[in-house]
Structure 1
Amino acid sequence: MTVSAATSDSPSGRADGGAEPAHRPRPAAKRSVRARLWKERYLFLLLLPGLVYFIVYKYVPMLGSVIAFQDYSAFRGFLHSDWVGLKHFRKIFADAEVLRVLWNTLLLSFLQVAFAFPVSIVLSLMLNELKSDRYKKLIQSIVYLPHFLSWVVVIGIVTIFLKHEGIVNRLIGLVGLEPVSYLQEPGWFMPLIVLEVIWKESGWGTIIFLAALSGVSPSLYEAAVVDGANRWRQLWHITLPAIRSTIVILLILRLGSVLDVGFEQIFLMLNPFNKEVGNVLDTYVYFKGVQQADFSFATAVGLFKGAVGLVLIVAANRLAKRFGEEGVY
């Protein structure tokens, strides 16, 4: 009774009769944005150069995409060029040359995904099986090195080996066979492009897969050995499932650039003999937009590529989630 009376007589309703403090400290989650920015100002200063780069070189140039809906003239500018709506987008599907170039792009992209993409997976699995760390690091360094060569150097090496009087044709001549014009024959163009991509980029692509494999617990392999599983069974039931999600994510990201097969490499390999099968969207945009000054049509093709990439990423991501994978987002 005494406690109840004291509690009821207290103006604050507290048993000890004391008053609540006038100012309670704010929890960290309720601090103002300004206070948090000031507290972490040095971290945001580190972020600032990268943020400025993306704004200036990625987002601001997107404003120029408006010329895809104009008959743009460099003399009249953005504000005074005539608006033509979807004229240039309709031209993409009405021009027979554009359709041929689009087919070349899709075919070459399919070949790269079908043959170049799995090589990185196979190479990472082979490297993961090496027991000696010394040999493993040595082989990794060797297969990584081509990535650091520019395409100009790579195409120069290919030209030295495969030109009509090159090393390969000299070796062929020693066995009595006729020399082959690898760089001029249209049938050799796409196989050479895919082989160049495999040689240059496969070693670099293994980095992500090896990082995923490093997280596999050795106890899983030990348990598999106890159960009598051989190396192939361990590979199929432990190693591949461990990197399955990584494979799916990289494949989704690769589908986003399905119409981007590498301008520099293709441009350096093109010549009048193989242009029929080697001209892709990237090089076609260069010829039309830069050499022929058809800026509006070139921009429309670029927007079309971006739209196709976005649709493919969204569709592939939903498909991956439907099969139980995490996806990109």
Structure 2
Amino acid sequence: MTPQPAERAGLTMADVARLADVSVMTVSNVVNDRAERVSAETRRRVQAVIASTGYRVNVPARQLRQGRTGSIVLAVPDFASAYFGELGARLAERLRPHGFRLVMELTRGTLDDELATLSSPHLDGHDAIILSMTAGTARDLADAQPRKPLVVIGERSVPPGFDHVAMDNIGGARLATDALLDAGARRIAVIGGQLDGPESMPVLRTQGYRDALASRSVPLDESLVVAGGVGLADGERAIRALIKAGVKFDAVFGLTDAAALGAMSALAAAGLRIPHDVKVVGWDNTELATYAIPPLSSVEPDNEAIADGIVRLLLRRLDDADAPAETTAPPARMVHRESTR
């Protein structure tokens, strides 16, 4: 007999187990999405009971029993970045059904702030951390030895034993450069590029750019690789500097959408038409790219898969501290819009 609404309010996991004729542990495995531990038939039976009774997990009570706060930190270098804002929204949406709230924290891209985020006193108020590491090295991370579950995002190498979600930087940069070459460009400026140095986002994306040029036998002109930041103002400054120096270019690859959008502003101010005079590509496929004039072609790093991967690794680490570490980097794809057509 199906419990009436008044009865459902006090329904426990033991009640669901009794109605489904399974153990409490089996019900726990189903509600915590540990599908590998439960047969498909049993899972369907438990889910049917849950659906018919309206059973809901008492998240605060479970967190109290587990000694958890229900808080996950996302530590990023820049709050003004559209990419990190959109990433935070995706993560919050995915974490909410599991009873976690997302808290964002600013590291300013400095080593001191990244290490402070990983310090024990700070982590005591949270269950886990997602860190966009831009300044720290693998050695810094290993020395920090954070006591709480950690997922590292970004392009810095991480030591063994740490979960890592990265982007397909070299592959995505090749796609961006190929798109511009296919559109007829030959002198492609890279905003935020870096020709050498430790493994990082600028170095890896510049490597992809170089690989694409080499594959088409297009010579590399180092004057087209403009080092510096990848924000709106950085993109604008880079284009103004190229024009002032008399460097000829017929395309721009911004290593972020923000850099590309800043470049588009400077191009418009200089009377250069997009895409007729200069073609432009960005990276991140943020919502802002669709509202640019003209709409901005951009590398899509598979933002949804990245968010899925972060949450999957985080929940697995919270459930099993001894699970093997994993690194994942979804393949990128190119989104073509009017800025390259």
State the TM-score, normalized to the length of structure 2.
0.20
Structure having the larger proportion of residues in helix: 1
Q: Which has the higher contact order (CA 8 A, sep 6+)?
A: 1
Higher gyration radius (CA): 1
State the TM-score, normalized to the length of structure 1.
0.21
